[in-house]
Amino acid sequence: MGMTKTTGIEFAKHGIRVNAVCPGFTVTPMLEGSEVDDAYLEALQNATPMKRFGKPEEIATAILYLASDESSYMTGQCMVLDGGLISQ
C-alpha cells in the first residue's frame, strides 16, 4: 500500500496513474480446493462484516474501473475489496 501511494505520487507528473486492488477472501478454485476445513472457512466468512466471500466478478469490476477513463483523476490509491474486514 505504501509503494502504491509513493509511486502514484512520483509518476503522476508523467501522466501515469498507479493504483492497487486489495482483495479479501474471494471464491476461487484455490479457496474452494484448499485443504482448509469447512468450519474454518465458515469462521472466516463470519469474521467478515458482509458475512460472505467476494466473487471474482466483483474484483474484476474494480480492476476494469481502475483501468478505465472513469478513474482518470485517481492515483496512489488502494481499493480494498474485503467485505469490510479491514475496517473493523
Q: pLDDT per position in the chain (88 positions), as tens?
A: 999 999 999 999 999 999 999 999 999 888 877 778 889 899 999 999 999 999 999 999 999 999 999 999 999 999 999 999 999 9
Q: Where are the domains of the chain?
A: 2-87
Sign of CA pseudo-dihedral 77, 82, 83, 88: negative
Residues whose CB is less than 8 angstroms from the CB of residue 37 and which lie 6 or more positions away in sequence, other chains included? none
What topology does CATH give the domain 2-87? Rossmann fold (3.40.50)
Q: State residue 5 phi and psi, 5-degree precision.
A: -65, -45
pLDDT value of position 22: 97
Q: What is the pTM of this model?
A: 0.86
